[in-house]
Amino acid sequence: MNPVNQLVVKILPVLPRSLVSLVSRRYSAGEGLEDAMEMSRQLNAEKACVTMDVLGENITKLEDADAAKNACLDVLDAINKNEIEGNISIKLTQLGLKLDKSFCIENVREIVDRAKSYDSFVRIVMEDSTCTDDTIEICLLMRDYYEQVGTVIQAYLKRSEEDVLMLAGRNVNLRICKGIYQESEKIAYKDPDRIRHNFIQLVKILMKQSVYVAIATHDPQLVNHSLSLIEAGELPTSAYEFQMLLGVAKTLRNELILKGHKLRVYVPFGRHWYAYSVRRLKENPQIAGYILKNLFRR
């Protein structure tokens, strides 16, 4: 990593929020639901569909879980009212998983119930490895009641192939991503090529078993490999989609759309944009360099 960018990443916590927000705007749609709707309309006009995420995780008070649930219900209402081509991604730790699992399940059930009334899909995001078992369990529980619920599997986890085989057997719609949390090498691959290899392995299992797969990556190597699997298997566009984060790899995103592939953009919004953006900036320190330039311009 460029040492200057490394330094910027280190001092991020003490930089003024206004400065970070200059760069981070590209990663989140804004603070309000209307901002997220506007961004989603724009993306729909560019022929991308969306998945919307109310920012926030690991809440520490049950009232916050209630507020997050209500925000998710508002998102579903707004998607339906505005005829947005999109769905919602939800996080269990934002809905109280770490405080009271049954309370969390009730919150998820309410969200799934609302989605069902609109015939809309719900994606349960995968958080760190302390949540993996609960996430899979809650996803399967919801699917007993409404089929349009899926989750996420992280290619860096050594357990993932087994999870995918089990979930594919239940025809669960899965998003495959590399994984974003710090995990120990006991349970997670660390070598980037090993993670890529596993990513493709998981995608192959789903394609082979005709289970809908969401290929969530900006890594050109993984996108190209997935494209060759799609071509070799002559998969219809109804069997898979690509997914990317807002503000990342726009050129690649547009290339896929132009070629006729379904592309979904992850649209996070809400008051907790700062923590989310800092995480994204840490992921791509090159962007941190822009903060520095802005600092000196001022």
Ligand X SMILES: Cc1cc2nc3c(=O)[nH]c(=O)nc-3n(C[C@H](O)[C@H](O)[C@H](O)COP(=O)(O)OP(=O)(O)OC[C@H]3O[C@@H](n4cnc5c(N)ncnc54)[C@H](O)[C@@H]3O)c2cc1C
Q: Which is nearer to ligand X, 10 or 61 (CB)?
A: 10
> Is there binding between residue 154 and ligand X (CB under 6 A)?
yes
> Is there binding between residue 150 and ligand X (CB under 6 A)?
no
> Is there binding between residue 178 and ligand X (CB under 6 A)?
yes
What tokens were used for 227? 């494209």
Q: Which is nearer to ligand X, 117 or 137 (CB)?
A: 137
Residue/partner pairs of 276-279 with CB below 8 Å, 24 or more apart: 276/24, 276/27, 276/28, 276/55, 277/20, 277/21, 277/23, 277/24, 277/27, 277/28, 278/12, 278/13, 278/20, 278/24, 279/180
What tokens were used for 186? 């006991």
> Is there binding between residue 268 and ligand X (CB under 6 A)?
no
Residue of 248, 257, 292, 295 interacting with ligand X (CB under 6 A): 248
CA count, 13 A, side-chain hemisphere, 212? 15
> Is there binding between residue 287 and ligand X (CB under 6 A)?
yes
What tokens were used for 29? 């749609």
Dihedral pair phi/psi, residue 283, rounded to 5°: -70, -35
Q: Is 100 left (phi over 0), alpha (psi -120 to 50) or beta?
A: beta
> Is there binding between residue 280 and ligand X (CB under 6 A)?
yes
Distance between CA atoms of residues 277 and 75, nearest Å: 21
> Is there binding between residue 132 and ligand X (CB under 6 A)?
no
Query: What is the identity of the amino acid at 287?
Result: I
Positions 40 through 99 that interact with ligand X (CB under 6 A): none
> Is there binding between residue 39 and ligand X (CB under 6 A)?
no
Q: Which is nearer to ligand X, 26 or 62 (CB)?
A: 26
Residue of 152, 167, 176, 267 interacting with ligand X (CB under 6 A): 152
Q: Which is nearer to ligand X, 62 or 194 (CB)?
A: 194
Residue of 243, 273, 276, 288 interacting with ligand X (CB under 6 A): 243
Q: Catalog residues that contact ligand X under the rule CB under 6 A.
A: 125-126, 152, 154, 175, 177-181, 216-219, 243-245, 248-249, 266, 280, 283-284, 287
